[in-house]
Amino acid sequence: MNPMQLHLKVEKANMAAFLSSLFIFSFFSFGTSLSSNYYQKTCPVAESIVRKAVIDATKRDKTAPAGLLRMHFHDCFIRGCDGSVLLDSKGNDAAEKDGPPNVSLHAFYVIDNAKKAVESVCPGVVSCADILALAARDAVVVSGGPSWDVPKGRKDGRISKASETIQLPAPTFNISQLQQSFSQRGLSLEDLAALSGGHTLGFSHCSSFNNRIHNFNSTTDIDPSLNPSFAASLRRVCPAKNNAKNAGVAMDPSSSTFDNTYYKLILQNKVIFSSDNALLDSPKTRSLVSKFASSKDAFSKAFVKSMIKMSSITGGQEIRKECRVVN
């Protein structure tokens, strides 16, 4: 291949990558008319109703907060924060919640309960997307994390496709894949480092980290970046064969408390996902990991800032009457 052909090939590849990111970005806009007091006149009790639904659910199920926070992330990363993750599949049209990365999402009933209660007081006013954004904030607060004013005024989307969940950042991603996924949504490396701290809550099934503890590559069975005793404990829970259907491990030892333990574990090579460990592979994210590991306050402030930024990626066209179906 001569230099001119090579140049054209590179230009073509660059253009394809640019168009692909443009295609994803075209679904999103930032903060279209969102405001903290959006429902002040039309439904002033909305936030307290959502908060009660989250608190009531958490009393019965301590995994509900982690489920709600993850649900909000997964909603915002596909078509913006438009509640599309809440829609049920219809016939042969599989919705986002039935896409492979989302089959383990749970706590949808919390949003259903909150929506029902809000509708009984302020019918047709508060979007499901806003209820989910509020519930994610309340999930952090009820777990001992920081609070913040959630900008409101999102609309609910009418399209939800399981096939689009391939766009979600995967637990196997390396740092360049993570950076690309976040930048396509207008999010920075700072946002990546801070939002990854959501992994302080919750549980992971074996399938999300089996790649690190079995047949890692052609020369070694276990990812050499894993702490050996930690890897051994993961292999006991997730053997190569005969995995129990729901086998897995807590994301960190304090998995129902919102704290900065996750970052300390990264520095000890005791995190579950390749994508968590990947935060050590860029000078920027590595320094933020160290900063957040040494200061819960620094992490909390960065997390709040990035959550507001992420939850302000908007899409959507309507206010659904029920969160599982379009109007």
Which token pair is 250? 């807590």
CA-to-CA distance for 152 and 47, rounded, in angstroms?
10
Catalytic residue among 74, 199, 205, 214: 74
Check if 72 is active-site: no
Alpha-carbon dihedral 58, 63, 64, 66, rounded to 10 degrees: 120
CA-to-CA distance for 31 and 81, rounded, in angstroms?
10
Q: What is the DSSP string of 168-213?
A: SPPTT--HHHHHHHHHTTT--HHHHHHHGGGGGS-EEEGGGTHHHH
CA-to-CA distance for 77 and 72, rounded, in angstroms?
9
Whether the CB-CB separation of 75 and 132 falls below 8 Å is answered with yes
Name 29's bridge partners: 314
Active site members: 74
